[in-house]
Amino acid sequence: MPTRSTRRNVALTTKAAELAVAVPQVVAHRMTRMAIAGPKLSKRDRKEFERMVVEKNIAIAQACQAMALQAMRTHQTFAASFLRSMVTPGASMAVSMAQVQGAALGLLGQGMAPFHRKAVANAKRLARTRLR
């Protein structure tokens, strides 16, 4: 069990680091594009700015849905664990705490995934794009 938890921690840490690098790149590119575009937007700029808004709304909806589903799974696991502990009186508190930690990491990972996917993809896409 510790190996699985460690892998999840490493994957979550890696995604957080990638997100921390990708987000400033995307923001810098888009802010520069806004500054260069001025008040009169080209068709290309308008499309990018509309995409920016739509992507955020979709990512938020996906994150909320994924976190709700993960929370439901976690509640089912905790309920089963509670019922098992009633049958087995020697249940360890350490096991329960490990489950709580795993549940929190799972919830965080599910919530971060849509933002990570979009931010990393946008950073790659916008890195290939010329501003003007």
**75 residue type, one letter:** H
Percent of the chain predicted with pLDDT > 90 = 55
- pLDDT category of residue 125 using cuts at 50, 70 and 90: very high
77 or 30, higher pLDDT:
30
pLDDT at 82: 76
- 107: helix, coil or strand? helix
Give the mean model confidence (pLDDT) for residues 4-11.
78
Domain assignments of the chain as residue spans, ordered by start: 2-127
The pLDDT score that the predictor gives to residue 105 is: 87
Q: What is the pLDDT of residues 36-93, one digit of tens each?
A: 998 889 999 999 999 999 999 999 999 999 999 999 998 888 888 777 777 776 666 6
Q: What is the mean pLDDT of residues 81-110?
A: 77
pLDDT(1) > 50: no
Rounded mean pLDDT of 113-129? 93
**Three-state DSSP class for residue 129:** coil
